[in-house]
Amino acid sequence: MKPQETIDFHLRWGWTKLSRFYASEAERRGISFSYVFILLHIEKTGTPSTKLGPKMGMEPTSLSRSLSGLEKLGWIDRRPDALDKRMVRVFLTDSGVSARREARDLVVSVNLKIRDLLGIDSFDRLLEEMKRLNEILDQPHFLTENTLTN
**pLDDT(150) > 80:** no
26 burial (CB, 10 Å; 0-12 / 13-18 / 19+) is buried
pLDDT score for 148 = 61
The CA distance from 104 to 3, in Å, is 34
pLDDT confidence of 57, banded at 50, 70, 90? confident
Q: How do residues 29-41 score in pLDDT, each as one tens digit?
A: 888 888 999 999 9
Does residue 73 surpass a pLDDT of 60?
yes
pLDDT at 53 over 70: yes
Three-state secondary-structure class, residue 132: helix
Give domain 3-140's CATH architecture: Orthogonal Bundle (1.10)
Residue ranges of domains in the chain: 3-140
Quote the CA–CA distance of 136 and 63 in Å, as a whole number. 27
DSSP three-state, residue 75: coil
pLDDT tens digit string along 86-105?
A: 889 999 999 999 999 999 99
